[in-house]
Structure 1
């Protein structure tokens, strides 16, 4: 069977572990709030209404791509493209190419950062592989101007951070929704994790600390990942109703059921 992502790929290891997936989306949740195209995530109202549900919908799509065979992964990518096209038609505007690239760049950046925080430094070939895999996702979606190497991605990522981020009233509102849905203790834990994983510019724009107060807990967490303490720590990040979905992140998906998308919140059963 031909896979979109090779069975022994570092990308599968990253996206097959709840620890790293949660750290990836802690970082992405911070940077999304600053992106100049965040208004697209507000257009349907789905993201502010249910930010945690949208997070898991995005995770579901990413994992469908990473763990499916090539045909299944391509169907999932085509579904994402179709959903975005429908939102564009409804709004009467086109999502800019740079916004699509920004999302891919975030997934690349935080996949690397989360893995290195929780596991070990990545090798040069592993970095190239992560860029290549997400580049193929973007190519399937028809996104132009994608970098083809880690060095090219680094340059494009730096340009994105300099040009495409700015605090707005959406930033303030999205963080208000994070706090409302998480509760105060989990919200401050989220901000601590975000401060550890995001780039300095993002940290400064959001007024995040460096999360140094979490470093001792992170060290203990790495040393006890195989024990019950690790699951307790993962459960501490999100409310009780999501604990089953958190546990499921440690397993390869067994079914590629249709799911939602952060832009639409719809359930799509086929690609366009």
Structure 2
């Protein structure tokens, strides 16, 4: 039985736990808000109405692809492409290819960053593996000139960060929605997680501090994870509506 992602791939380890996926979620929520193409996410009204659900949807698609058989993963990618095409048809214009790439690059970059924060530094061949997996997703979506080597990816990723981000009205509105849907405490926790994770260019646009108060607590949290006590903290911290979804993130599809 052939899988879209090799069973020995580091990507399966990264996307097999809720902790790393939640950090990917935190980073993506920051960068989505600053992307110049964020108006596309506002077009259907789904993002401002349910920003957590919309971001979870993106994360769940990625996770499903990572753990699916090849044929099922390809169907999931094609379905995701069809959804975007329908939105394009409704709006009467095309989503820029660079915007598709930006989302793909987020998944690659934040997968690596999240795992390294919570686990260990990745070897260059493991980072290349992450790029290969999501690069294959991009290729299936019809994207062109997706970087083939990790060194090229770093160069192109930095170029996209410099060219495709801004702090505008959508940024302000989306963060207001995050605060509304999360509540003050969880919203502050999201911001601290973003400080821990996002590239300096994103952090500067959002006027986030360079240092987070989460950093000193990370060793303690890792101990809690090793003792299986981390869900005591998560039950207190996580939004009730999403606890079941988050627990499901720990299970392979």
Q: TM-score, with normalisation over the residues of structure 2? A: 0.97
Deviation at 1:229, TM superposition (A): 3.0
- Whether 2:95 is the aligned partner of 1:95: answer yes
Q: Residue 142 of structure 1 corresponds to which residue in structure 2?
A: 142
- Whether 2:26 is the aligned partner of 1:23: answer no
Deviation track 1:111-149 (CA, whole Å, cap 9, x = no partner) reads 000000000000111010000110000000001120001
Residue pair 2:25, 2:56 contacting (<8 A) in 1 also: no
Equivalent-residue separation in structure 1 for 2:130 and 2:237 (angstroms): 26
Gapped runs of 5+ residues in structure 2?
none
| Backbone CA RMSD of aligned residues | 1.1
- Whether 2:213 is the aligned partner of 1:204: answer no
- Whether 2:154 is the aligned partner of 1:151: answer no
Q: Residue 109 of structure 2 corresponds to which residue in structure 1?
A: 109
Deviation at 1:236, TM superposition (A): 4.4
Equivalent-residue separation in structure 2 for 1:43 and 1:108 (angstroms): 26
Q: Residue 247 of structure 1 corresponds to which residue in structure 2?
A: 247
Deviation track 1:184-207 (CA, whole Å, cap 9, x = no partner) reads 000000000001100111111101
Deviation at 1:211, TM superposition (A): 4.3
Q: Residue 260 of structure 1 corresponds to which residue in structure 2?
A: none
Residue pair 1:234, 1:246 contacting (<8 A) in 2 also: no
Equivalent-residue separation in structure 2 for 1:14 and 1:235 (angstroms): 22
Deviation at 1:238, TM superposition (A): 2.7
Residue pair 1:97, 1:143 contacting (<8 A) in 2 also: yes
Q: Residue 267 of structure 1 corresponds to which residue in structure 2?
A: none
Deviation at 1:237, TM superposition (A): 4.4
Equivalent-residue separation in structure 1 for 2:74 and 2:129 (angstroms): 18
Which sits farther off after the overlay, 75-84 or 242-251? 242-251
Q: Structure 1 residues 47, 145: CA separation in 2 closer, same or farther (over 3 Å shift)?
A: same
1:251-266 map, 5 Å: 251-253=251-253
Deviation at 1:234, TM superposition (A): 3.2
Deviation at 1:235, TM superposition (A): 3.6
Q: TM-score, with normalisation over the residues of structure 1? A: 0.91
Deviation at 1:231, TM superposition (A): 1.2
Residue pair 1:193, 1:211 contacting (<8 A) in 2 also: no
Gapped runs of 5+ residues in structure 1?
254-272
- Whether 2:48 is the aligned partner of 1:48: answer yes
Equivalent-residue separation in structure 2 for 1:105 and 1:92 (angstroms): 26
Q: Residue 192 of structure 1 corresponds to which residue in structure 2?
A: 192
Residue pair 1:195, 1:210 contacting (<8 A) in 2 also: yes
